[in-house]
Structure 1
Amino acid sequence: MTLPFELTPFAATWIGLAALVSAFVRGYSGFGFSALLIAASGVVTNPLHFVAVVVILETLMSLQAWKGLAHHVDWRRVLPLLAGAAVGLPIGLWALTSIPEDAARAVISGYVLVMCGVLMAGWRMSRPAGQGATLGIGVVSGLANAPGMGGLPVAAFFAAQPIPAAAFRATLVAYFPLLDIYSAPLYWYHGLFTWETLVATAWLLPPVLVGNWIGSRHFFNTDPKDFRRFAIGLLALLATMGLVRALL
């Protein structure tokens, strides 16, 4: 069997395990899949190979988790996020695809570390943000979705507000596939969507669906907010590994 993106057997095994763990984290806490998988792939290969892969897998996981979440979605947040992302994503893709692989790896890893710091800082807002602030975060999310990680700034933004856990998770689950549908043709235009993308997606789909299903069952007796801290720590570790590889 020929592995996609000229991966070695070790790299393929590493990414397969990363997909399983990332999907579990996403199913349990509602975020983190794309960032974890992209950061993990950056340790062993060019992370841009997996940008379109995570977009497709995110969409499939959202469909898998949609049942029972629809009535919790806050569409007043989703729509301005999408409007902002529509502006930010083309700019982010143009910038990211214009630099060498190691520079892209360093940018992605550095961005992830910054976002981990923001999430761990526990920044809080006294009241829910308005439409203007949500639109601005949408622009940031679009820029960050160039490497497939547009969920991190939104997760940090939502976590800072007094939003019920059910609405937090459901709104993210609704936002991701809509963002990804918009992103897909732009990824294709920039050469990030190829035949190997489909091969890699088919190969990773079984562990992703299993991990997402297990995570969504909440078999652990851990509060999703506490589990999110573990996910952020794991993400920071993977980003550090990717940054060290880029620098060396």
Structure 2
Amino acid sequence: MLASLPDLTDLVFLLLGALAAGFVTGFAGFGTGLVASGFWFHVLPAAVVPPLVVMASVAAQFVSLIGVRPVFDWARALPYLIGGALGVPLGVVALSLASPELLRLSVGIFLVFYALCQFAGLTRLSIGAWGGRSSDAAVGVGGGVLGGFAGLSGPLPLIWLQLRGGPSLSQRAVYQPFNLIVLALAAIGMASAGQIDRLVLSSLVIAIPATVIGAWLGARLYRQASEAAFRKVVLGLLLTSGAMLTIQSLW
């Protein structure tokens, strides 16, 4: 474990997770928690991963938002933000009560479920404006809870916005500011709850440079690469990581 002097394997897992997660976030505007969790749960205590994910996510979001900042849609994002602000404290409390084994299992199942839903084409469905802004706020609460619990604020609003329909850039203009603000609130909540200790901070010092580099590379690729091909690679990585975590937890 990364207690004081990490061994080479632990260090490689920590850096690879940070680099891959930053890259995915730079490209897609979310995903730090989804990708990094699959790496970091293998080399860090389970209770350390959520606060580390949240703080790394905030850094990656700051870098990746450069490409979409001019088109942020604050009016459309407001219901999600209000719901997210309400959900974050619930997630932080749940994190303080959950066992490490439950946390590892829940993240693994979530990764598998999310990847399979994407591969199955769930987001090709369309609900239009069904449910209105109140439904958007409810989805924001769910994203806030997941953000406060495990730094996974992005997937739920993203899936919902894809069901709503519209250009991918307009969707990102809503879920990326949501992610940034919710994760910043989650970091504050975790710090207030005493969940950011020396091990989190020492791991963060190692992970942040790789996260920032990855996010910068992903943001550059965002304007050039084929989203469809990259999406398949990312989903394959998420599915594999989630399956490994789930199997280990159940075993």
Instruction: Please confirm whether the aligned pair reaches a TM-score higher than 0.5, indicating the same fold.
Output: yes
Alignment of 1:12-91 (within 5 A): 12-91=11-90
Coordinate RMSD, CA, aligned: 2.4
Distance 1:181 1:22, change over 3 A: closer
- Which residue pairs with 1:184 in the alignment? 187
Alignment partners' CA distance in 2, 1:5 and 1:113: 32
- Which residue pairs with 1:119 in the alignment? 118
Distance 1:21 1:191, change over 3 A: same
- Which residue pairs with 2:163 in the alignment? 160
Alignment partners' CA distance in 2, 1:231 and 1:77: 27
TM-score (norm 2): 0.87
- Which residue pairs with 2:146 in the alignment? 144
**Deviation readout 1:168-192 (Å, 9 max, x if unpaired):** 2333321222112211232123332
| Gap runs ≥5 in structure 2 | none
Distance 1:186 1:240, change over 3 A: same
| Gap runs ≥5 in structure 1 | none
Alignment partners' CA distance in 2, 1:65 and 1:219: 9
Q: Give me the identity figure in percent.
A: 22
**Deviation readout 1:88-117 (Å, 9 max, x if unpaired):** 222233233323211221112112222223
Deviates more, 1:210-219 or 1:10-19: 210-219
- Which residue pairs with 2:95 in the alignment? 96
1:6, distance to aligned residue in structure 2 (A): 7.6
- Which residue pairs with 2:250 in the alignment? 247
Alignment partners' CA distance in 1, 2:144 and 2:5: 29
Alignment partners' CA distance in 2, 1:189 and 1:164: 38
**Deviation readout 1:52-108 (Å, 9 max, x if unpaired):** 222222222222233342231121332211211223222233233323211221112
Amino acid in structure 2 at the alignment position of 1:65:
S
Alignment partners' CA distance in 1, 2:101 and 2:174: 34
Q: Kindly tell me the number of residue pairs found equivalent between the two proteins.
A: 247
- Which residue pairs with 2:216 in the alignment? 213
CA contact (8 A) 2:16 2:39 kept: no
CA contact (8 A) 2:54 2:150 kept: no
Q: Does 1:195 align with 2:198?
A: yes
CA contact (8 A) 2:128 2:163 kept: no
Deviates more, 1:238-247 or 1:122-131: 122-131
CA contact (8 A) 1:155 1:172 kept: yes
- Which residue pairs with 1:227 in the alignment? 230
CA contact (8 A) 2:25 2:64 kept: no
Alignment partners' CA distance in 1, 2:219 and 2:119: 23
